[in-house]
Chains A and B, each alone.
Chain A
Amino acid sequence: MRLRYITVFDPSRSTNENDTFKQLLLFHCFGSTHSVPSLNEKLSIIGIIQGIWSFTSSCSNGDDGHKDLEKTIELNNDVILCIKVESRFFISLAISNISDEQNAIPFQYFNAYLWLSYKFFKLLNGPFSRFNEDFNKLTDSLNEFVIPFWNDIYLNLETITNRSFTIIWPGFYKRANFQQASYSPVNKNIVKESWDAIILQNILLDKKSYLGLKDILVYHLPKCTKAADKEYIGTKTYGLVRNFTSDLNTLPDISNWLYHLHHTYGEISSHILTGNAHFKEELQVGEEQERNQTAGERQEEEEAQQQQQEQRDNTQNNKNDFSLSERMIHNVTLPISFAYDAIHEVSATTGVSSSLSMIMDYIPKPHWPFMSSSNRNSDNNKYPSINENTSSNTSLVTEPETVGGTIGNSRFGFLISPLNSNLLPSSYQTLKLNLDFENSKGNEDFYNCLFWYFDDFLVIIVCDPDFSRISERSYLKDLSFRLCQSMKCLTNEIFSSQNCNSMESFGYVIKDIITNEIDSSVPFGSPRMASDDNISTLQLAINGIDQFINNSSNSLSSTNWNPISIMGGLNTKSKNSITPDSLNETIDNNQSSKRKYVNFLNLMSADKLWDLQIDVLQFLVSLQNSKRDPEYFQEERLLKLNNGVLCYIRETDSKLIIIIKNWFSNNDTTKAMKQKNLSNSSAWRESSLFRSLGCDVIDWWESRDL
């Protein structure tokens, strides 16, 4: 399977025969640049897509035709997917060699990503119609966002499969399902303040920021590791923990955007959030190689420059900095002018220009105002913080100038905030996202968003565009402090919950059509991701630095690198070696190893899991094709295959429920259940199809209802 081209066009812009080219907003062919079609060919492609679109719309019952927003054109070896947005723009993606590979990816995935790419674009740049006056600007923005987005997928097609099949619903977002501590009256007294109360009362309703902060979104994004990994945490708890307003319509988009970034690049850092990290292709041959290399490493160079500056400024603080790898030094010494030319050349040929602005920003030698302080701080806080841990776990380690720090065993800090150097592009200070709050006056607007992390938790702070306090350092510190308190509570709550280590014998997906939420425990992962390290041929352009910093052998804490903070907890292995006797930590580790939230699907090999996902997708397609009259009837299915899959699907008005079990292991439970069933009156209400899933599913379902 191979992506061929992506195109965006707006037929309404052409008024006569002579200006048809005006329709074309973007046309990008993936891969080699030799076979770029001529303008005529491009126009003929969008022409035929339009033709097919209106033809298929016309041959159905009048009004239905307008509701259809996506069409799939299947050729014998190609597929053209097309979606219509904002009632006049078309986005179309062509895929070739569909029948080539064994593990062909179903079109639904591509289709979903087509929607996602639009939604993400809208999130970052606003809707297409915003550019009504200046379509060149739209083309530029599309070039800057859509092409890198799809290029990453082109280079690694598995990207789109690495988040279970729930991705095929692009308008829905995954929610984290923690098993909360049982809220019995006794417990309630003990729990002084819940984490969300802290955020709500101390931050959102606080006098200083009342109405200035629109919303706070808390995500739990644990690292994507393989199931065999000790630190593995099931996917049940991945996703949005909660947000604090009910009228944020863009919640699915912003959530999916984060998940996408996290899964594509494996981590979340400032660069990734600001869209400055992308995959580069494996180097080819000869001259081209050299050129590509410089282009590919352009990001590294920039970072290297930063580092160089940092090093120069801070040699007295960081002796270690001289031990940077040879390659870094080499890159640093490359003449800047040469790099600049190379980037010019490459961006001219590929149309990627995102990095251009970056390098321009760096050409004047930057000065890092916070660098010395933060470095000092990190040096200070590293060991002391651990020492402090042993004495009192609650005290926060936040030095006056710090952006990030550690508390207990946890790392926290801002990823994107005005604390970042203002020499960096403005998106490093506040990321402007186009959000839609239903109750606010103009509905859609650009809001300033700050990103803050606490171990595996990512917090997005959505601020009103007029709220200026966020540029005050003291306010941010205060915010950081309170968030820390809240997150501390949250982790405690999670640790105190029970039953999270027992292996569930079933996997579930619940899609709530009303709230657009997905609850899922189906593991992520695509066949290739686990089977080989193919990704090594692809390097994150930004990787050089991030990897280097993340490397546990390097004694530098990543908090040193202010603009390059990477989200996530400290590398526990290295940590352990440092303080093997830390009592608190061992407890923490025990706790974290306890909360696994795994189910039997996690034990399956990636290939089998992928097959299962394909099967489930097939079930869903079949359900989608159902001719049932949805106005009056609901449908339930119980499917049992000879390979052990037992899948229950139920579709009602408000929910789509999928439960996957292995019926080989189900036999004992059903027998036990038979007995239970007689007495269990509430389960009686459920249909016999559901009941046959076994009592563990029924128990789980009933506990959910409560």
Chain B
Amino acid sequence: MNLNENYLDTGVPKSQLKHSRSGNLECIPIVASTSEPTTSVNLDETFFKKAPLAVPISDNRSISKSASINSLNTTYLASRGSPLQAKKSQTKTGVLSTDLATSNNDIMQASIIPKKHSDLYADWGNDIRSRLAESIYSMETSVRGSEIKRRPYVSNEIPNVFKFSKLNINSEPSGNQVSCDKNFLIFTSAGKPIYSMHGKDEQIMSYTGLVNTVISYFQVNGPSELKTISTLTSGKRLTFLDKSPILLMAQSERGESSNELLNQLDFLYSYILSSLSERQLLRLFSKRENFDLRNYLETTDFENLNEICSLICNRMFPDLLLNSLQCLPFRHSSRLKLQNVILQQLEKRQDIPRGTLLYGLIIAPQNRLCCVLRPRGHTLHTTDLHLLFCLISHQFQNLDETQELWVPICFPKFNSSGFLYCYIKFLPNDTQSNEKSALVLISAEKDAFFSLKSFSDELIIKLENEGLLKKINASKGFKLSDIPAPMVHHFIYKSKQNVQYVMPHFEVNSKISLESSQRLEYELKLKTYYQQLHSTVVRDNGNILSRSILNFVKWSSKDSKDQTVDETRLNFSELDEYIIGNSSFEQESVNMLGMAWVTPKFELYLIGNNGVVDKKVLFKSARKVATWCQKHESRLFISDGAVF
């Protein structure tokens, strides 16, 4: 059998992408080369015709083309045996496969795609079989930014078992506020709107008026405070946060508890405070109750609010849910060295009066904390840090390393009525990626810019000399395949003591850009899985159910065999349609197993690959994950930081 390894790495030339008669995109040469396969391979016409939702694929979708290879593999299997058998063999081999997964990379590459050749059909059976075997391995997936364009052979895509309203996937604030399943509304106690995530002004105006009336009714006749209105059957919930003179309202149909929503509202309110400070806010409204805050806030404020809302609603942002920070995995010795360098620098600069520099932070891309400099006995609240991270990643991302910023920010949990001043400078990064780490120095003094600037300049030079800068830039976090835990799709591990969490990279195709709808959809899906898992361990008031908990949640397709899938009713997302369109025949049966494991030391939320049905397998992996995380605790988490 001729093998063509290069095929994998070069990608499929466009000429090979043809549409079959049924409209399927094919990228497997064998199939594409002739439209009439012989029966010798049991590949009859139904093979194509069965495809229920054939979606014509435009060129920009070619990123996922290799997915169809996998799909065809599985589908071929499905077409030969009964679906049940196919399922069984998948799960059976699945257990075996993962152990081999890591070592088998080379072999797999070698045997996957046969060359376009005349004797292909003779080899088809063998080939399919071997590919089948491989298809079950969880392959190491594409490396971010690398040239390799392949996708895992069995899509490690997890199915979506949730019901989202479609509009929601557009991150654009849609005009129609009524039709979204989640919305945030901020307005003044006089009923003037300040911000709304969805909805136009005209709609919002009447809305806020109503809400205002209701809230003040209870204030007058009580006096009591309106907290939540919920409809139990449909899971709709309106949650209110009264921070007079500002009122906030969250509307959600996503099954979040009112406590979760309150946290989100509090985060939004904290943002407003961070840009105004409470004192200023109160002063503005004490003069005139019907003050229109919108005139006072900057455009960037609204942009930031938009970003925060979309972060809360649509992105994978477990920070708020877990109330913890994400941390940059960093070699322990390097981290110590880094802290020492910073402390030495502080020591050296005795001319900077004590108290001028309150905190120092190095923040890696994607809001991951790399290093902390803090006075003894003081830490910054996670909410404050989240706010700072959001600002840096959204507002200041366009700065280059030659520019520096001096911004007043109110840290509401630190001191809601005053400002701290932040010196922000991005660290030079010589690698190609344009993501930069940032150095943040926080001071209480307004005019400390120059002393902090010189401090930072010296520090950066020193870091460069020590080679630490390179290490910071090179540190990429970890991948799931770094951990010997099979059958795991993704996990979040939170160290309770450090109030920090880690999670592996998303293993999505690197070509799917951060903002593409596919990526968003994936994040939303993952986020919902985690949200559901988290909700199994907390009470409505946000407390953990009990000191230690081990919960499994399983989502599976309904057993009823007689259930005929009515195509008109199918409401798959684009990505699903694409996959289904290519995999044709049978939708992969859904068997998702997730677990939430809470102990006094850590919280672990873990999602297994689709098809893992045995909880023991998953729990075994979970234990491996937990041991791995504990073993590498000093690398994964910042335990103390540089304390002076």
Partners in one complex: yes
A interface residues with partner B (beta carbon < 8 Å): 41, 44-45, 48, 51-52, 55-56, 58-62, 64, 67-78, 108, 111, 615, 618-619, 621-622, 624-643, 645, 652-653, 687-689, 692
Q: Does B179 contact A (CB under 8 A)?
A: yes
Q: Does B479 contact A (CB under 8 A)?
A: no
Known contacts A59-B238, A619-B536; is-contact A70 B549 (Cβ 8 Å):
no
Choose one: A626, A627, A642; the contact of B547 (CB below 8 Å): A642
Nearest neighbor of A648 in chain B, beta-carbon distance: B552
* Residue pair B550, A640 in contact (C-beta under 8 Å): yes
The smallest C-beta distance from A673 to any residue of chain B, in angstroms, reads 13
Known contacts A56-B238, A59-B207, A634-B555; is-contact A626 B228 (Cβ 8 Å):
no
Q: Which of A56, A70, A626 has the most CB of B within 10 A?
A: A626
Report the separation of the CA atoms of residues A56 and B255 in the bound assembly, to the nearest whole angstrom.
16
- Dominant secondary structure at the B interface: mixed
Within 8 Å CB of B230, what residues of A?
Answer: 71-72, 74
Nearest neighbor of B207 in chain A, beta-carbon distance: A59
* Residue pair A625, B163 in contact (C-beta under 8 Å): no
Q: Does B50 contact A (CB under 8 A)?
A: no
The smallest C-beta distance from B242 to any residue of chain A, in angstroms, reads 9
Q: Does B162 contact A (CB under 8 A)?
A: yes
Within 8 Å CB of A631, what residues of B?
Answer: 569
Report the separation of the CA atoms of residues A64 and B211 in the bound assembly, to the nearest whole angstrom.
20
Q: Does B481 contact A (CB under 8 A)?
A: no
Choose one: B164, B165, B210, B218; the contact of A55 (CB below 8 Å): B210
Within 8 Å CB of A634, what residues of B?
Answer: 555-559
B interface residues with partner A (beta carbon < 8 Å): 161-165, 178-179, 207, 210-211, 213-214, 217-218, 221-222, 224-236, 238, 251, 253-258, 528, 531-532, 535-536, 539-540, 545-560, 569, 590, 613-616
Report the separation of the CA atoms of residues A200 and B222 in the bound assembly, to the nearest whole angstrom.
59
* Residue pair A633, B234 in contact (C-beta under 8 Å): no
**Interface contacts beyond A636-B553, A640-B550: sample of 16 additional A-B pairs, CB < 8 Å, sorted by A:** A41-B221, A60-B236, A61-B165, A71-B230, A74-B228, A108-B232, A111-B232, A618-B539, A618-B540, A619-B536, A625-B235, A625-B255, A627-B532, A634-B556, A636-B554, A642-B548
Nearest neighbor of B232 in chain A, beta-carbon distance: A70
Choose one: A56, A111, A624; the contact of B236 (CB below 8 Å): A56
* Residue pair B551, A639 in contact (C-beta under 8 Å): yes
* Residue pair A52, B229 in contact (C-beta under 8 Å): yes
* Residue pair A638, B555 in contact (C-beta under 8 Å): no
Report the separation of the CA atoms of residues A619 and B536 in the bound assembly, to the nearest whole angstrom.
7
Report the separation of the CA atoms of residues A69 and B217 in the bound assembly, to the nearest whole angstrom.
23
Nearest neighbor of A37 in chain B, beta-carbon distance: B221
Report the separation of the CA atoms of residues A618 and B537 in the bound assembly, to the nearest whole angstrom.
9
* Residue pair B214, A44 in contact (C-beta under 8 Å): no
* Residue pair A73, B226 in contact (C-beta under 8 Å): yes
Within 8 Å CB of A636, what residues of B?
Answer: 552-554, 556
Q: Which of B163, B178, B221, B569 has the most CB of A within 10 A?
A: B163
Minimum-distance CB pairs A-B, first 4: A625-B255, A629-B163, A641-B546, A75-B224
Report the separation of the CA atoms of residues A635 and B227 in the bound assembly, to the nearest whole angstrom.
30
* Residue pair A688, B214 in contact (C-beta under 8 Å): no
Choose one: A68, A78, A628, A653; the contact of B161 (CB below 8 Å): A628
* Residue pair B545, A628 in contact (C-beta under 8 Å): no
* Residue pair A75, B554 in contact (C-beta under 8 Å): no
Choose one: A75, A630, A645; the contact of B218 (CB below 8 Å): A75
Choose one: B221, B222, B545, B549; the contact of A44 (CB below 8 Å): B221
Report the separation of the CA atoms of residues A629 and B159 in the bound assembly, to the nearest whole angstrom.
12
Known contacts A72-B232, A74-B227, A622-B535; is-contact A640 B162 (Cβ 8 Å):
no
* Residue pair B163, A627 in contact (C-beta under 8 Å): yes
Known contacts A628-B161, A628-B555; is-contact A633 B590 (Cβ 8 Å):
yes
A sample of 26 inter-chain contacts (CB < 8 A) reads A59-B207, A67-B234, A68-B236, A70-B233, A71-B232, A74-B227, A75-B222, A76-B224, A76-B225, A77-B224, A625-B257, A628-B162, A632-B590, A633-B161, A633-B555, A633-B556, A633-B557, A635-B555, A637-B536, A637-B552, A638-B615, A639-B549, A642-B547, A642-B548, A687-B556, A688-B613
Report the separation of the CA atoms of residues A70 and B229 in the bound assembly, to the nearest whole angstrom.
11
Report the separation of the CA atoms of residues A68 and B234 in the bound assembly, to the nearest whole angstrom.
7
* Residue pair B235, A629 in contact (C-beta under 8 Å): no
Known contacts A55-B210, A59-B207, A64-B234; is-contact A72 B615 (Cβ 8 Å):
no
* Residue pair A635, B553 in contact (C-beta under 8 Å): yes
Within 8 Å CB of A73, what residues of B?
Answer: 226, 228-229
Report the separation of the CA atoms of residues A634 and B593 in the bound assembly, to the nearest whole angstrom.
12
Report the separation of the CA atoms of residues A83 and B256 in the bound assembly, to the nearest whole angstrom.
22
Known contacts A75-B225, A625-B235, A625-B256; is-contact A635 B540 (Cβ 8 Å):
no
Q: Which of A48, A61, A627 has the most CB of B within 10 A?
A: A627
Nearest neighbor of B199 in chain A, beta-carbon distance: A59
* Residue pair B550, A59 in contact (C-beta under 8 Å): no
Nearest neighbor of A630 in chain B, beta-carbon distance: B163
Report the separation of the CA atoms of residues A639 and B535 in the bound assembly, to the nearest whole angstrom.
12
* Residue pair A69, B233 in contact (C-beta under 8 Å): yes
Within 8 Å CB of B535, what residues of A?
Answer: 622, 625
The smallest C-beta distance from A697 to any residue of chain B, in angstroms, reads 15
Nearest neighbor of A618 in chain B, beta-carbon distance: B539
Known contacts A68-B234, A615-B545, A641-B546; is-contact A75 B227 (Cβ 8 Å):
yes
